[in-house]
Amino acid sequence: AEPAAPAAPSAPALPVLDISHDPAGLTDDQIAVLSVLQTDVPTLTDDAALLTDLPVRRVLSALTVLEIDGYVSRQGTRSFLRTVELKKE
C-alpha cells in the first residue's frame, strides 16, 4: 500500500469579529465596508463604494480606521482584503 499523502497545509484560521451583538465600536460605514470585502480577493475602493452605496470618501475613511485596527490590509494602491471572518448572527 502506498503511504498516505501528507495533508495540504491549510491557511491559518482568521480571527472572528462578531458584528451582530458587539460591533467592537465600529461605525455603520465600517461594518458595511467590512461586509463587502473578501478575505481572498482584493476589492478596489471604488467597487466597495458601489457595493455599499456609500460615497468614496466615506469608504476611504472607514478603510483607514479598519486598517489601523487590523481588520483589513492594503493590497496595492487602492485594493483591500478583509483580515477577519465576520460573525453576523
Residue 10 Cα distances to 14, 46, 54, angstroms = 12, 31, 35
Q: What is d(CA 73, CA 80) in angstroms, rounded to the nearest whole number?
A: 6
pTM above 0.85, yes or no: no
- The CATH code of the domain that includes 34 is 1.10.10.10
In a domain, 11, yes or no: no
Q: What is the pLDDT of residues 22-68, one digit of tens each?
A: 666 889 999 999 999 999 999 999 999 999 999 999 999 999 999 99
DSSP 43-86: EEHHHHHHHHT--HHHHHHHHHHHHHHTSEEE-SSSEEEE-SEE
In a domain, 67, yes or no: yes
pLDDT at 21 over 70: no
In a domain, 3, yes or no: no
Give the residue numbers spanning the domain of 41. Answer: 16-87
